[in-house]
């Protein structure tokens, strides 16, 4: 079968992955599931993996097939699989968990001590077929196209995971600032709008993104290239600040906003990454705000997100590409030229 594989780390996205012919994955234990991939979302994390940014945090055996936002049709199952059958359409949580370690017993999917992460630590879905497990697949409702929903396997669940935490700190009339209305941010905005009564403030340097934010429910928009974000947020909130900030950019410039825009006791959620946090400890003590990290989300949260999709409460803006266009997609994303999410259709 065909697979887009990373052989060595590079900053040159135009040549990051190569299309190889590899053996098809096989059932190796009774809980395995093989999925015919119909949609695999391309994520900024894929660019970061190609650059080698994850080597300090996880072991990555190369060559490796990338792709962690996967959905498609089940073509084979292990003998003990009962959740799905051949022909069922599914979305795949990117992490395959053991189910027996303490974090798994507590329902903390992302903390599994024996996990395999498709496209990060083991072969992913930029291929004709994906090897996963029964613990990682969620059956799709009738009428949901796997290629349309695939990015929710990471982008959607990551945005939802952060939004769900933020909603706990949002009361009616509070302000929630969404920084970056891109592939994740436009999902997070919809989740906040659906699950809270907060005033939503969208921040982005692209007018098209701000227009999209307005269409999706934002009450206010701010363009940092022509407006001072801190001053605008304080004007909107009567100098109180934002109870919750969801930072889908994670650059030095956006993490630095926290002391100036977070309300006392508020949270600045880091979802996008690549930058750093360089704030004096006194700033956190003075405002008693907190930086909060986020990584993907639980299996159950992906189930909840699928329920929101079924209700048309959360919609994705996607563009489809063939597998042989995969490096072109990486280049476009590197140059911030893709609106919404890119989906590879092997």
Domain positions in the chain: 2-154+296-345, 157-293
pLDDT band at 317 (very low <50, low <70, confident <90, very high): confident
Question: Is the pLDDT assigned to residue 65 strictly greater than 80?
Answer: yes
Q: Phi, psi at residue 341, to the nearest 5°?
A: -120, 140
CB proximity list for 313: less than 8 A, separation 6 or greater: 190, 194
Q: What is the pLDDT of residues 273-309, one digit of tens each?
A: 989 999 999 989 998 999 999 999 999 999 999 999 9
Phi and psi at 139, nearest 5°, equal: -60, 140
How far is 126 from 133, CA to CA, in rounded Å?
17
Where residue 337 falls among pLDDT bands split at 50, 70, 90?
A: confident
- Tell me how far CA of residue 18 lies from CA of 29, 36, 37, 97, 124, in angstroms: 29, 20, 18, 28, 14
CATH class of the domain comprising 2-154+296-345: alpha beta
Identify the bridge partners of residue 2 per DSSP, sorted by sequence position: 21
DSSP string for 108-128: -GGG-TT-EEBTTTB--SSBS
CA distances from 266 to 144, 165, 170, 293, 301 (A): 37, 12, 9, 14, 23
Share of the chain above pLDDT 90, in %: 90
For domain 157-293, the CATH architecture is: 3-Layer(aba) Sandwich (3.40)
DSSP per-residue codes, 271-340: -S-SS-----HHHHHHH--EEEE--S--HHHHHHHHHHHHTTSS---EEEEEGGGHHHHHHHHHTT---S
Report pLDDT digits (tens) over 14-50: 999 999 999 999 999 999 999 999 999 999 899 999 9
Residue 339: is its pLDDT beyond 80? Answer: no
What is the rounded average pLDDT for all residues in the chain? 95
Residue 153 near residue 92 (C-beta atoms within 8 A): yes
Q: Do residues 192 and 167 lie in contact, with contact meaning Cβ atoms separated by under 8 Å? A: yes
User: Is residue 147 pLDDT above 80, yes or no?
Assistant: yes
User: What are the distances in angstroms from CA 239 to CA 19, 93, 232, 235, 260?
Assistant: 54, 41, 10, 6, 10
| Structure tokens given for 44 | 């900024």
Beta strands at 175-179 and 69-77: parallel, antiparallel or unpaired: unpaired
Q: What is the pLDDT of residues 107-120, one digit of tens each?
A: 998 999 999 999 99
pLDDT value of position 187:
94
Contact 11, 52 (CB under 8 A): no
Percent of the chain, pLDDT > 70? 100
Residue 34 is classified by DSSP as E
Specify the pLDDT at position 160.
Answer: 97
| 92-100 mean pLDDT | 96
Q: In the chain, helix, strand, coil percent, each to 5? A: 30, 25, 40
Collapsing DSSP states into helix, strand and coil, what is residue 206? Answer: coil
The pair of structure tokens assigned to 213 is 């934010």
238 — pLDDT class (breaks 50, 70, 90): very high
Section 152-178 average pLDDT? 96
| pLDDT (0 to 100) of residue 340 | 78
pLDDT in tens, 169-213: 999 999 999 999 988 999 999 999 999 999 999 999 999 999 999
Question: Which of 230-234, 259-263, 294-298 has the least mean pLDDT?
Answer: 294-298
How many CA atoms within 13 Å lie on the side-chain side of 222? Answer: 21
Summarize the confidence of residues 143-171 as an average pLDDT: 95
What pLDDT is attached to residue 104? 95
């Amino acid at each position: 079968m065909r697979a887009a594989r990373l052989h060595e780390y590079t900053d040159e996205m135009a040549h990051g992955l190569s299309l190889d012919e590899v053996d098809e994955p096989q059932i190796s234990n009774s809980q395995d599931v093989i999925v015919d991939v119909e949609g695999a979302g391309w994520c900024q994390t894929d660019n970061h993996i190609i650059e080698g940014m994850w080597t300090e945090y996880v072991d990555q055996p190369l060559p490796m097939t990338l792709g962690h936002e996967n959905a498609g049709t089940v073509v084979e199952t292990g003998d003990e699989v009962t959740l799905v059958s051949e022909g069922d359409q599914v979305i795949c949580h990117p992490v395959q968990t053991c189910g027996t370690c303490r974090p798994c017993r507590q329902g903390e999917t992302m903390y599994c001590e024996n996990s395999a992460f498709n496209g990060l630590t083991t072969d992913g879905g930029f291929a004709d077929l994906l090897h996963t497990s029964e613990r990682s697949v969620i059956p799709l409702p009738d009428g949901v196209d796997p290629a349309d929903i695939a990015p929710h396997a990471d982008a959607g669940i990551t945005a939802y995971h952060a939004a769900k935490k933020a909603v706990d700190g949002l009361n009616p009339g509070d302000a929630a600032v969404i920084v970056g209305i891109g592939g994740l941010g436009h999902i997070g905005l919809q989740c906040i709008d659906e699950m809270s009564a907060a005033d939503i403030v969208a921040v982005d340097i692209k007018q098209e993104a701000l227009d999209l934010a307005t269409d999706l429910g934002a009450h206010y928009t701010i363009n940092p290239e022509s407006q001072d974000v801190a001053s605008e947020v304080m004007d909107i909130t009567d100098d109180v600040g934002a109870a919750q900030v969801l930072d889908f950019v994670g650059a030095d410039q956006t993490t630095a906003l926290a002391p100036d825009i977070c309300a006392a006791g508020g949270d600045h959620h880091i979802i996008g990454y690549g930058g750093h946090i360089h704030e004096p400890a006194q700033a956190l003590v003075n405002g008693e705000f907190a930086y909060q990290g986020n990584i993907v989300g639980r299996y159950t949260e992906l189930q909840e997100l699928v329920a929101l999709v079924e209700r048309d409460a959360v919609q994705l803006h996607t563009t489809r590409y063939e597998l042989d266009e995969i490096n072109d997609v990486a280049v476009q994303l590197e140059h911030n030229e893709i609106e919404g999410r890119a989906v590879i259709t092997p």
